[in-house]
Homo-oligomer: A and B are copies of this chain.
Amino acid sequence: MTQTAAIIGGGVIGGGWAARFLLNGWNVRVFDPDPEAPRKVGEVLANARAALPALSDVPMPPEGQLSFVGTLTEAVQGADYIQESVSERLDLKHRVFAQIQQVAPDTPIGSSTSGFKPSELQQNAANPATIFVAHPFNPVYLLPLAEVVPSVQSDPALIEAAKETLRSIGMFPLHIRKEIDAHIADRFLEAVWREALWLVKDGVATTEEIDEAIRMGFGLRWGQMGLFETYRVAGGEAGMKHFMAQFGPCLSWPWTKLMDVPEFNDELVDLIAGQSDAQSGHHTIRELERIRDSNLIGFLRVLKDRDWGAGKVLKDHDARRRAAMPDPTPETAAPMPMAHMRVLPGWIDYNGHMTESRYLFAASEASDAFLRLIGADLAYVAGGHSYYTAESHILHLGEGKLGDALTGTVQVLGADEKRLHIFIRILKDDAPVATIEQMLLHVDMAAGKTCPAAPEVLARLLPIAEAHKALPRPEGAGRHVGQRKA
């Protein structure tokens, strides 16, 4: 059954939460008295729709229903999860929690607060046990981190369930064991921010120079390993202790101005805002958002290919959703529709077209499904036998575009004990955008050579091959590259 999330506060952060829940199939009710909230959430959602599916290798679930409601009570009544993202004022948050708990005293309430501790949030609450910190990072629809901070008054089972909810929308809940002001990540951001303000104020560097000092160097490192793992590698074989011994003494050197806080006045604000305009003012905020999202998608896909860091979170999320998908039901009378796919944003190249290798990927989805159908499935492979592709010919006849529904059909051109010759059509609106002719060989994987397929596989395959002899031979079969059309 479709679950419902209540989003209290519809700014950039609330909108990001709404988008994550919606795109993962939840219904979402947003409450924000600001009349601009629907527009603001709509803009974040448009960015998210263009970005989040690009990270997925399985079709996204149908989007949930989004509604904007007029009262807080309407939003939270019957909701399965509540996320609060109102302004950073403790009195306001307390009032919101009190109102929520009048109608939903037992529902988990995650707070997006960057600074307050859960024990502060829980003060005077009717049911403190359900209120905790779930602190996300902008853009919420792309970055997996959510710092989950309970207090001693929290209900451990509720916290575990909330973490599972966050995982189900593709996030990485980082359980923080001791509450502390600003949790973990924002303490680092605050330290860097303070130091950066000094550097600008003292005329050592401009905002642009500071940004270059970050993104040309350690920023790249930190997207894939954090602080300690990076230093562990830098320390080399001598190990972490050696690294620390080398850099420990710097702690007493004047390497930061953090012992002092810069005066935050109009002059400093103007200096920084002016430098930021000079640095980035030639891009609109919308452009910068798209650039940022495109870069983050690229980084996240890199990590996914490598099964590392945030990419592991994406792979786990795919696996979870793939397991919940129904198998296609094949028909054996004609070219057999074996796979139904949708052109995902991650399949689109810099030309805006479906990337070449994705046509073969789509063909593999169809041929893998066909192999499962005849019994050459994962269990069969685990037994040491498999079909390997020896040769493929791809003919491009049309174009897949973002969001297109594609169907992969399989026609058997020929089969014997060892060989399987198939012709795959990738159809869009019943017309092929590509055809793929393939020769597969049945192999004994340990011996590394061909051998006859198991009798039970042949018993399924050969009747299909026999039936398909009645089908007309596809026009594209038997072509070599560059052959003139008949």
Contacts and interface: CB of A to CB of B under 8 A. Distances in A.
Contact of A211 (B229, B300, B315, B395): B229
B204 A178 contact: yes
A205 B186 CA distance: 14
A181 B255 contact: yes
Copies in the complex: 2
A423 to B, nearest CB: 9
Contacts of A437: 481
B305 A224 contact: no
A298 interface: yes
A74 to B, nearest CB: 27
B250 A190 contact: yes
A196 interface: yes
A469 interface: no
Contact of A185 (B214, B291, B391): B214
B227 A192 contact: yes
A280 B391 contact: no
Contact of A392 (B138, B188, B356): B356
Contacts of A439: 481-482
Counting chain A residues whose Cβ lies within 8 A of the other chain, the interface size class is 35 or more
A258 B251 CA distance: 11
A266 to B, nearest CB: 9
B264 A248 contact: yes
A1 interface: no
A299 interface: yes
Interface string A365-398: 0000000000000100100001011111111100
Contact of A220 (B174, B178, B197, B296): B296
A92 interface: no
B292 A233 contact: yes
Interface in A219-250: 219-230, 232-237, 239-241, 244-245, 247-250
12 contacts: A145-B212, A172-B212, A184-B204, A188-B196, A188-B214, A190-B250, A215-B223, A228-B272, A351-B381, A360-B360, A414-B482, A480-B480
